[in-house]
């Protein structure tokens, strides 16, 4: 009867390299972003002559490759020269000026007194004098508590600054004086097309899984879901979790039911846990998750009951940001002023 033929043996795995599905994993080749990477390299290029580089504002939806592009360029820069040093800082994880400056000094391997922000800056300045240039990337820059550290860094002659964010409107909220000093050029990363999404996910699939364990019909559903939400991370998450569910069942192939379970888990945790949002925005996401189809007015009342005393205008700006990041979807109702009230759901497939 071959009862155990399709059951995964204890020492077997569907995965070849599970890390290839990690959001932080950086493949050797980054497809469909060659033009953007070339532009970033051109901004850094003046540093090779010891001149100031061009500063760049990089924005776009979550999961479109902003961070991967910058890290890929920085990796190649490290391989090319020791005279221009890249430094990458995630301002969601390190949000204070002291933490940010300390991280840069640490990456530059420059000694400083760890309790004083000014000492960290002096250490950066000392190192900068020994180098032709420093390329600085500040990811999730909108999460920094304040931007005073940028003023201090702009006093260095031989630097290039990249500011990375999901927020298109970030520049409009910058102080005019800081915006003028930065003289930022802008680079938008558009979402991947369906064909590009399919190719990217197929490459990760080959790296992550053993051959012939991910049927074509299941993979097509992953691509469709990923393209709908315009976020490559969604596809990586679904493939990883579908593989894990299949292994728990002892299956030699990933089945559609495993993908369905992965989608359910996505709705439980991904939009909230994977997104660099404020506590207010996380609360709004959780309320929408508990109350799918809730109207804006009802949502605002529940938000206030959570203890937040923000004006409705600020609350609506949070909602707008979540919508622009494709974390929530909305549909108009016949309620509200001129029938313009909205109902809200978490984005789903």
Domains of the chain: 34-188 (3.40.50.300), 193-273 (1.10.8.60), 279-346 (1.10.10.10)
Is residue 200 a contact partner of residue 222, using CB atoms and an 8 Å limit? no
> Does the structure show a pLDDT above 60 at 1?
no
Q: Determine the pLDDT at residue 29.
A: 85
Nearest to 233 by CA among 71, 15, 30, 62: 62
DSSP 8-state assignment for residue 331 = E
State what percent of residues in the chain have pLDDT above 70.
91
Q: Determine the pLDDT at residue 256.
A: 97
Q: Determine the pLDDT at residue 327.
A: 83
> Does the structure show a pLDDT above 50 at 2?
no
pLDDT tens digits, one per residue of 213-234: 999 999 999 999 999 989 999 9
Q: Determine the pLDDT at residue 3.
A: 39
> Does the structure show a pLDDT above 70 at 121?
yes
What's the average model confidence in pLDDT over 168-179?
91
Go through 260-294 and write b for each residue having 16 or more CB atoms within 10 A of its CB, e for each that does not. ebbbebbeeebbbebbbbeeebebbbebbbeeeeb
Task: Check residue 186 and give left, alpha or beta (phi > 0: left; psi -120 to 50: alpha).
Answer: beta
Q: Determine the pLDDT at residue 269.
A: 77
What's the average model confidence in pLDDT over 32-53?
96
Q: Could you give the 3-state DSSP secondary structure of residue 81?
A: coil
Instruction: For 84, list phi and psi in degrees, rounded to 5.
Output: -120, 115
Q: Which two tokens stand for residue 192?
A: 């991947």
Q: Which residues have a Cβ under 8 Å from the Cβ of 154 and sit 6 or more positions away?
A: 161, 181, 182
pLDDT tens digits, one per residue of 79-106: 999 999 999 999 999 999 999 999 999 9
Q: Which of 125-129, 192-196, 277-281 has the highest mean pLDDT?
A: 192-196
Residue 112: pLDDT band by 50, 70, 90 thresholds? low
Nearest to 137 by CA among 87, 198, 183: 87
Q: Determine the pLDDT at residue 4.
A: 40
pLDDT tens digits, one per residue of 204-213: 999 999 999 9
> Which one is predicted more confidently, 194 or 172?
194
Q: What's the pTM value of the predicted model, to 2 decimals?
A: 0.84
Q: Determine the pLDDT at residue 100.
A: 95
Element (H, E) at 310: none
Is residue 239 a contact partner of residue 260, using CB atoms and an 8 Å limit? no
- The whole-angstrom separation of Cα 209 and Cα 201 is 12
Q: Determine the pLDDT at residue 235.
A: 96
**Looking at 117-121, 142-146, 285-289, 342-346, which range is the least confident one?**
117-121
What's the average model confidence in pLDDT over 14-42?
95
Mean pLDDT of the chain: 90
Q: Determine the pLDDT at residue 244.
A: 97
Q: Determine the pLDDT at residue 325.
A: 77
Q: Which two tokens stand for residue 252?
A: 């030699």
Q: Determine the pLDDT at residue 167.
A: 86
> Does the structure show a pLDDT above 80 at 303?
yes
> Does the structure show a pLDDT above 80 at 348?
no
- The whole-angstrom separation of Cα 221 and Cα 60 is 25
> Does the structure show a pLDDT above 50 at 246?
yes
């Amino acid at each position: 009867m071959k009862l155990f033929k399709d059951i995964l043996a204890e020492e077997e795995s569907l995965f070849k390299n599970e890390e290839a599905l990690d959001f932080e994993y950086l493949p050797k080749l980054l497809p469909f972003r060659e033009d953007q990477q070339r532009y970033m390299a051109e901004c850094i290029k003046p540093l090779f002559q010891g001149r100031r580089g061009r500063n760049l504002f990089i924005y776009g939806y979550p999961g479109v490759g902003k961070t991967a592009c910058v890290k890929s360029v920085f990796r190649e820069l490290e391989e090319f020269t020791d005279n221009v040093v890249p430094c990458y800082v995630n301002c969601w994880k390190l949000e204070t000026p002291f933490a940010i400056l300390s991280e840069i000094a640490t990456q530059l391997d420059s000694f400083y007194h760890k309790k004083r922000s000014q000492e960290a800056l002096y250490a950066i300045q000392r190192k900068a004098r020994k180098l032709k240039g420093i390329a600085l990337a500040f990811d999730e820059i909108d999460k920094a508590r304040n931007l005073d550290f940028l003023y201090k860094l702009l006093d260095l002659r031989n630097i290039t600054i990249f500011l990375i964010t999901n927020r298109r409107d970030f520049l409009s909220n910058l102080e005019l004086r800081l915006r003028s000093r930065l003289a930022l050029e802008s680079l938008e990363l558009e979402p991947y097309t369906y064909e590009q999404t399919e190719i990217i996910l197929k490459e990760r699939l080959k790296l992550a899984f053993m051959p012939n364990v991910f049927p074509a019909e299941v993979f097509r559903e992953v691509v469709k879901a990923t393209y709908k939400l315009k976020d490559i991370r969604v596809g990586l998450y679904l493939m990883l979790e579908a593989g894990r569910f299949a292994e728990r069942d002892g299956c030699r192939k990933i089945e559609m039911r495993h993908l369905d379970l992965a989608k359910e888990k996505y709705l439980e945790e991904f939009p909230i846990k994977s997104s660099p949002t404020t506590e207010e925005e996380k609360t709004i996401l959780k309320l929408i998750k508990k109350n799918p189809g809730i109207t804006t007015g009802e949502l605002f009342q529940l938000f206030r009951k959570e203890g937040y005393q923000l004006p409705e205008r600020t609350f609506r700006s949070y909602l707008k940001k979540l919508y622009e990041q494709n974390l929530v979807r909305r549909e108009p109702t016949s309620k509200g002023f001129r029938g313009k009230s909205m109902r809200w759901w978490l984005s789903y497939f």
